[in-house]
Structure 1
Amino acid sequence: MSDPEDVLFSPAVKAEQTRLGSRISFEGRTWQTEITPDLRQFLDAIDTFFFATASADGRPYIQHKGGPSGFLKPIGTHTLAFADFAGNRQYITLGHLRENDRAHIFIPHFATRQRVKLWGRARIVEGDLELMERLVDPSYKARPERAIVFSLEAWDVNCHQHIVPRYSEAEIAPAVNSLVARIKELEEEVARLKGGGE
């Protein structure tokens, strides 16, 4: 396995860090290479991420991936996988992975203002019913076509700077439900007061 620092930072990146004075803050740092309990817990809540690939000649592409919470699943200490659902049929990601297995997963979680970056290599798995059973939530209404298996080489958590908090419907539902219940109580109390005063 490659040195995680070399996965994150190419020689050109290291040169820029040196030129701009930030290199010293990364030297000797230990980078995460395994799926930790904290990362596993974070992934359980995730329902969206961005998946980056590049063609053999380096042409980049970023694809949004979405699904039910926890659809990006740890399946080993260094391995993640997700069901690839039917989409726009451009197959850019698939074509890239056939010629260049380097990939990146970028996960912004707006509610907690976290961003997690994962570097690794990805491969397409087709026809593995056992794997698909592990990855697909039968209640999610989308058609899975294949699995993408991601071998983790390094990961990092970035600061929350410039992430504007946003919340999904599921994240705000408890607060909304509480407000709706309170409004109902108050309406019933107003109705009782009006009824008692007549």
Structure 2
Amino acid sequence: MPRAFSAITFTPAVRAAQERYGSRERNLLFEEDSDERNLITERERALIPDIDTFFMSSVGANGWPYVQHRGGPRGFVKILDDHTLGFADYAGNRQYISAGNLMNDDRVMLILMDFAHRRRLKIWGRARMIHESDEPALLAMLHMPAYRARVERGYIITVLALDFNCPQHITARYTEEEFFAMFEPKESP
């Protein structure tokens, strides 16, 4: 069984591009790997609660892709089980492009970024929106009361595939908190 992400992404056109550019043989390893990588494991559990920013793509009814930044306090992305993530969607620019796209096609891809440690987790999944009027208990689980932003809805993502990606071109960036923590005096034993 191949990795779930290669089953989703290695279309005939992608395989042809890999062949043309000389990486097809190396990418066969993804297709021959017995670990499907479609479960949230300890490795992902070590990253996801620290995330405060990610990017989510969706596809419009006209076929055009759309990528949107999602942000919140650390921990706003919740692991609900080994196959499911959720997050509260806070009020933003009120264009509702992702929300509208998901009404037509529930496929999404998330790119979770940990800039300080130069890590990137790619997640392919299917999303559904939840609203307080329909699922108040589930939306309440996603809400972070200390974060003073208005929750408009929640997103529940069923994880179909995930993969950590090469850190080669990720520039280290730090939040203010991370930056000042680097200069705090360390306690001596």
TM bracket (short chain): 0.7 to 0.9
Instruction: Tell me the equivalent position of 1:59.
Output: 64
Instruction: Tell me the equivalent position of 2:155.
Output: 148
Secondary structure at 1:178 match in 2:
coil
Shift of 1:20: 1.9
Does structure 1 residue 120 correspond to structure 2 residue 156? no
Instruction: Tell me the equivalent position of 1:189.
Output: none
Q: How many equivalent pairs are there? A: 178
Shift of 1:64: 0.5
1:32 is matched with which residue: 25, 34, 37? 37
Instruction: Tell me the equivalent position of 2:24.
Output: 23
Structure 1 unaligned segments of length 5 or more: list them.
180-198
117 and 165 in structure 1: CA distance in 2 versus 1, 3 angstrom threshold: same
Does structure 1 residue 72 correspond to structure 2 residue 77? yes
Identical residues among aligned pairs (%): 43
The answer to whether the 8 Å contact 1:107/1:115 transfers is: yes
Shift of 1:14: 1.6
* Moved beyond 4 Å, runs of 4+: none
Q: Deviations over 1:30-79 (max 9, x none)?
A: 44100001101100110000011011232111110001101111111111
Instruction: Tell me the equivalent position of 2:165.
Output: 158
More displaced, 88-97 or 73-82? 73-82
Using the size of structure 1 for normalisation, the TM-score is 0.84
The 2-side partners of 1:6 and 1:20 are apart by 20
The answer to whether the 8 Å contact 1:54/1:100 transfers is: yes
The answer to whether the 8 Å contact 1:117/1:157 transfers is: yes
Secondary structure at 1:140 match in 2:
coil
Shift of 1:176: 4.1
Q: Deviations over 1:107-160 (max 9, x none)?
A: 221100111111111111112111122111110010111111111111111111
The answer to whether the 8 Å contact 1:8/1:119 transfers is: no
Does structure 1 residue 49 correspond to structure 2 residue 28? no
Structure 2 unaligned segments of length 5 or more: list them.
none
Shift of 1:3: 7.1
